[in-house]
Amino acid sequence: MNRIVTLLLALCLVFTLAACAQSAPPELPPAPEQEASEIIPEPAPEPEAPPEKPFPGKIAIITPTITGNMHEYIPAIELVEKYGKDKVVHRTWPDNFMAEPAKMVNMMEGIAADPDIKAVIVTDAVPGTIAAVNKLREMRDDVFVAGILPQEDPPDVASCLDLIMMPDELLMGPAIAEQAKSMGAEVFVHYSIPRHMAQPLLSARRDLIREKCAELGMEFVDATAIDSAYVDVPGAQQFILDDVPKLVKAYGKNTAFFANHCNIQLPLIFSILKEGAIYPSACCPYPDHGYPDALNIDIYGRDYAGYYAGLRAEISSKVSEKDMGGRFASWPMHPTMVEAAACTEYAIKWINGEVPKKGIDTKTLIECCEEYITEQTGQQVNVSLTSYDEDDGTFDHFLFMLEDYIVF
C-alpha cells in the first residue's frame, strides 16, 4: 500500500524593530512611467475544476478477511484507495462462512438497502453466496453482480450472477505443455498422487497434458509422488529432492517437471535449479507460489504497488545467477487478483453505459484484465477467456481465464 508520509515544518518568524529617525526621510526618485498593461495585474488563474467522478453511485466489494485470502483482500483495499471510500464500499465475509450463512444474507441485505450501490463484486463466491445474492435480487433489480471463484453448483450460480470468473484449471494443462515445449522441453514429467487423480478435474487435466505432449512430440512421463497426507510434508519433499536428479539423469536436462501438489513446489524448484531442468509452471501458476521459499526471497512487508514487477525481477536475478535464465516460467500475477480488479473495472463501464446492460462484452473484459496486469507488472501479457459449457447449453457470462506465461 502507498505509505502516508507526514511532514512537520517548523516556521520561525523573525521580527526586526527599528527606531524612528528624527530627520526627514530622503526624497525618493520619481517612479518611471509605465504602460497601463504593465501596472494592471494579470488575472488570477481559474481554479481547477474538481476531478470528475469516475461513475455515479457506489460499488460494493465483498472479500474474505485478509487471513482468509490475502490475494482477494488486497485488490479491494487497492480499489478503495484508487476511487475513495465514498465510491467503493468494502465488506468481508465471516471467516466461518459455512456456519454463518445468515450473516452473509444480512450483509447483502444491508448493501441492497443503500440505493447508491450500483454493482456488487464478490471476490470469493463461497457457499452461501447464492442465497445472499437472491436476497439482493428480491430487493433490487438494478444492480450488477459479479462473482469470482464460485463454489456452488455452476448452473445455479450462473442463474443469479451477471458475471462469473475463475482460472481455467482444465485448459491450463495443454497450456503448460505448450509452454514447456517453447522452453525447449523434450520430455514432460507429471508428478501426481493417487488422491488427486481420483478428482475428475485433475485427472482430466493430466490426460489433456498427455494428449498435448503427444501432439507436440514430447515424451510424457506419469510419475507418482509421495502424498503428504499420509507422510509428513518433509518426507514428501525429500522424495522430490531424491527423485528429480534420477529423472534428469535418465531423460536429460531438457526435461520439464510439473506437479499438482502445492507442498512439493519448493523442493521441485530447488531441484530443477540445481539439476538444470525446466519448470514451466507451478500448480498454482503465480510468482509468489513456490518461488520465494525455494529462492530465499522475502516477500513480506512489501508495498503492493510494484509488488509483482519487483518479484519478477528478483526471480529472474536468482535464476540468472545459476545460468538458468529461460528455464522457469509463471503467469505474471495471481489470477483472482486480476479477476477482482477486472470485474470492478467492467462494472464501472456497465454503470457508465459503456457496455451492454445484458450479456458480457468479453473483448472489453479481456482489456480490463490485460490493462490491470500491465499496470501491476509493467509487462503486456495476453489473457484469454472461455465460456462454461454444460450439456444443456453454454453460459456466456461464466468465464474461465488463462494468462500467458512470462519466462524468468
Q: Does 176 lie in the same domain as 325?
A: yes
Residues 71 and 131 in one domain: yes
Beta bridge partners of 255: 187
The confidence score (pLDDT) of residue 45 equals 52
Q: What values do phi and psi take at 381, rounded to 5?
A: -130, 140
Instruction: Tell me the helices (H) and strands (E) count for the chain, helix number first.
Output: 14, 12
Q: Is 212 helix (H, G, I), strand (E, B) or coil?
A: helix
Give the up-direction half-sphere exposure of residue 286: CA atoms within 13 A in the CB hemisphere: 16
CATH number at residue 189: 3.40.50.11390
List, edge to edge, every strand of the sheet that includes 383-390: 88-92, 58-63, 117-122, 144-148, 163-167, 393-403, 383-390
Considering Cα of 286, then 288, then 290, then 294, what sign does the dihedral take? positive
Residue with cell 528455464: 327
Give pTM, 2 decimals: 0.83
Q: What angle is formed at CA 255 by the lines to CA 257 and CA 321, rounded to 5 degrees?
A: 85
pLDDT (tens, 9 = 90+) of the chain, 408 residues, equals: 333 222 222 223 222 323 333 333 334 334 334 443 343 344 445 444 444 578 999 999 999 998 888 888 888 999 999 999 999 999 999 988 888 999 999 999 999 999 999 999 999 999 999 999 999 999 999 999 999 999 999 999 999 999 999 999 999 999 999 999 999 999 999 999 989 999 999 999 999 999 999 999 999 999 999 888 777 888 889 999 999 999 999 999 999 999 998 989 999 999 999 999 999 999 999 999 999 999 999 988 777 778 899 999 999 999 999 999 999 999 999 999 999 999 999 999 999 999 999 999 999 999 999 999 999 999 999 999 999 987 767 899 999 999 999 999
Q: Say if residue 209 is in the same domain as residue 163.
A: no
Give the chain's domain count.
2
Q: For residues 293 and 373, state if they share a domain.
A: no
Full residue range of the structural domain in which residue 187 is found: 172-330
Same domain for 82 and 144:
yes
